[in-house]
Structure 1
Amino acid sequence: MPVWETIISSSPIEILKNIVDVLLVWFVFYKLITIIKGTKAVQLLKGIFVILFARMLTEYLGLVTLKWMMDQVLMFGFLAIIILFQPEIRRALEQLGRGRLFARSAMQEEEERDRLIEAFNKSVSYMAKRRIGALISIEKETGLSEYIETGIQMNSHVTSELLINIFIPNTPLHDGAVIIQKNHIAAAGCYLPLSENPFISKELGTRHRAAIGLSEVTDAITIVVSEETGAVSLTANGDINRNLTMEEFEKQLRETWFGAESEDTSNPFWKWRKRK
C-alpha cells in the first residue's frame, strides 16, 4: 500500500509534521463551524451539500442534461459562496484583524451572558412596575427535570418579551414557574416545592415559599416578582434577598448565576442581609 509505505519511509519529524498539519486543518474547520453556527450559513451549506450529492448521482446514473446543469452551478459556485457568505466572511476577517478569531467561543459566551442578563433585567423591571407576579427558576448544576415535567414544555430562547407575555394575568401559563435550562426556557407553569421552614416571614406568599423551597433542595436561582407590591426578590442556597432595586438585582443575578466577583468580596450572597 503506497500510504503505508510512505509512512514507513518517513522520518519521525515528518510524521509529526503531518500529524500537526492534519490537526491544524481540523481545528480550522472547527473554528469555521463555530463561526457560522446559528446563522443562515448553516442552511446554505446544507444546500451546497445537496448540489454536490446531486452532481455525483447524475454521474453515477448517466443523466447527461442534469449533469451539465450541475456542472454550470459548480462552475460559478466559488463566486456564489463569496456572495452568499459575505456577512460571515466579513465577521471572520474582522475578528482575525482584532486577533479574536480563536477566542470566538469565549466572546460568544460573554455576549450570551450579557444578553440573558439584559432580558431578565428588562422583563423583571416591566413586571415589577406593573405588579405582575412572576416566578423564574434558573438551573445550575442540580438538574430540574422533575419540576420541568410538571409544566408545559417550551424549549424557547430567553427574551424579555416572551417572559413578560408568559406572566400576563389570566393567560394559560401565568400560574406556576418558568424554568430556565441551558440558557433556554425549558418549561412554563411548573410546580415548585414549598419551603417548610417555620422561620420564614408570614408576609411571604406562595411564590416566595416556592422559590425558597427550590433553593433548599437544589442550587437553582429563583427570581420572584411580588404581585401585591411589585417587589423583586432573589433566592439561592436556601436564602432570600428581598426588595432589590434593579441595579442590585442585576448585580446579584450576575454574581450568583455566572460567578462574577462582587465589588464587595467580603459580602457574598449567602451573607447578604434579608431586606425587611
Structure 2
Amino acid sequence: MAFLEEFVGTTPVSVLVNLLDMLLVWFVIYKIITLIRGTKAVQLLKGIFVIIIARILTDVLGFDTLGWMMQKIIDWGFLAIIIIFQPELRRALEQIGRGKLFARTNMQEAEEQNRLIEAMTKSISYMAKRRIGALISIERETGLSEYVETGIPMNSDITSELLINIFIPNTPLHDGAVVMQKSKIAAAACYLPLSESPFISKELGTRHRAALGLSEVTDAITIVVSEETGAVSLTANGDLHRNLSMEEFEARLRKMWFGPEPETTPSSIWTWRGKKNG
C-alpha cells in the first residue's frame, strides 16, 4: 500500500521527469553499445554479464565461498577495466570533449559504406576486365540463410582481394554464388534458385537466371559478371540491369544498398520485367 500511496501522490511533472530520466538512460546505453559494437569491448561486456549473473546465483544457491570470489572480481574489476581499456577510454573522453561522441557513429557508418562500395567496385572491375565469371548476392530485408546453408560458410570481412580470389577459375569456391549478410561474406559456392520465366532472353546464361530467380523470391541485390563477355549486371526486385559501365554499376549499387537513386538512367541499360525497355 505504501507503493500505491506514493504513486498516487506523484504529480504529472514528476512522472514526466522520471520518464525522461529512463529514456535518457536507455539512450546512453544504446549509444554505448553502438560505439563498442565490432570492438573487443563487446567480449568484455559479455564477460561482465556472466560474472554478474554468477554473483546473483551464488546468493540464491548459498555458495558463500564462490560468492566471495565473485564479489572480489567485481570490486577489483572496475580498476582492471580502466587499465586494460585505457586507450579506448581516452579516445571516448576526447570525443566527449570535442562534442563528437554521437556524431562519430554516423561518420563510421558512412566510412564503412564507402569501404564496402569501393571493395565491390574494385573487385567487379578486376573480374570484368579479365572475364572472370562472378555471382554475388547481398541480403537486405529478406533473409538468405537457406541459401547460405547450401554453400561453404566463411563469415569473412568483405574485401576486394577475397572476392577476386573466390571467383578465380578452377578454385574450390568459384562455382556458385557468394552471399553477403550485413558487412560479411556469409558463404561461398551457394546455390540460388533459377528463374523459370519464359520471357528471359536466350542469350542469358545460368548466372543471370539464378540472379533473376533470387530477385523474384527475395529483395536481395545480385551482381553478375559474365564469363563470356565480361559484362556487368545487377538484379533486384525482378529487374535486370545489363551492360553497366563501372560508373553506372557503382551508382546503382550505392542507391540499392545505401543511398539515393541516381538522377539519370543511362539509355544503354536494359531493364527486364518481362520485356526489354528502350
- Which TM bucket (shorter chain)? 0.7 to 0.9
Cα gap change, 1:98 to 1:229, in 2 (>3 Å): farther
The reply to whether residue 35 of structure 1 matches residue 35 of structure 2 is yes
The reply to whether residue 24 of structure 1 matches residue 27 of structure 2 is no
Q: 2:64 aligns with which of 53, 61, 66?
A: 61
SS at structure 2 position matched to 1:101: coil
How many Å apart are 1:39 and its aligned residue? Answer: 1.0
C-alpha contact (below 8 Å) 1:192/1:211 kept by paired residues? yes
Cα gap change, 1:98 to 1:122, in 2 (>3 Å): farther
How many Å apart are 1:138 and its aligned residue? Answer: 1.8
How many Å apart are 1:99 and its aligned residue? Answer: 4.0
Q: Can you list the C-alpha shifts for 1:20-70, whole angstroms capped at 9, x where unaligned?
A: 223322322222122112211122344555666788869962589x75993
Q: What one-letter code is carried by the residue in structure 2 that aligns with 1:61?
A: D
RMSD between aligned alpha carbons? 3.7
Q: Can you list the C-alpha shifts for 1:126-161, whole angstroms capped at 9, x where unaligned?
A: 322333211011233444444334333444433323
Structure 2: unaligned runs, 5 residues or longer? 272-278
Q: Which residue pairs with 1:250 in the alignment?
A: 250
Cα gap change, 1:19 to 1:242, in 2 (>3 Å): closer
Q: Which residue pairs with 1:151 in the alignment?
A: 151
SS at structure 2 position matched to 1:27: helix
C-alpha contact (below 8 Å) 1:241/1:272 kept by paired residues? no
The reply to whether residue 70 of structure 1 matches residue 66 of structure 2 is no
C-alpha contact (below 8 Å) 1:179/1:185 kept by paired residues? yes
Q: What one-letter code is carried by the residue in structure 2 that aligns with 1:128?
A: A
Q: Which region of structure 1 is more displaced relative to structure 2, 166-175 or 211-220? A: 211-220
Q: Which residue pairs with 1:240 in the alignment?
A: 240
Q: What are the equivalent positions in structure 2 for 1:115-264 lying under 5 Å apart?
A: 115-198=115-198, 200-264=200-264
C-alpha contact (below 8 Å) 1:7/1:15 kept by paired residues? no
C-alpha contact (below 8 Å) 1:55/1:70 kept by paired residues? no
**Distance in 2 separating the partners of 1:110 and 1:259:** 10
**Distance in 2 separating the partners of 1:15 and 1:53:** 31
**Distance in 2 separating the partners of 1:4 and 1:177:** 62
Cα gap change, 1:24 to 1:176, in 2 (>3 Å): same
How many Å apart are 1:114 and its aligned residue? Answer: 2.0
Cα gap change, 1:19 to 1:156, in 2 (>3 Å): same
Q: Which residue pairs with 2:276 in the alignment?
A: none
Cα gap change, 1:9 to 1:149, in 2 (>3 Å): same
Cα gap change, 1:162 to 1:69, in 2 (>3 Å): same
SS at structure 2 position matched to 1:115: helix
Q: Which residue pairs with 1:84 in the alignment?
A: 84
C-alpha contact (below 8 Å) 2:232/2:243 kept by paired residues? yes
**Distance in 2 separating the partners of 1:122 and 1:49:** 42
Q: Which residue pairs with 2:269 in the alignment?
A: 273
Q: Which residue pairs with 2:275 in the alignment?
A: none
**Distance in 2 separating the partners of 1:50 and 1:216:** 44
How many Å apart are 1:263 and its aligned residue? Answer: 3.3
How many Å apart are 1:163 and its aligned residue? Answer: 2.0
Identity fraction in percent: 71
Q: Which region of structure 1 is more displaced relative to structure 2, 51-60 or 115-124? A: 51-60
**Distance in 2 separating the partners of 1:49 and 1:156:** 27
How many Å apart are 1:253 and its aligned residue? Answer: 0.7
TM-score under structure 2 length normalisation: 0.75
Structure 1: unaligned runs, 5 residues or longer? none
TM-score under structure 1 length normalisation: 0.76
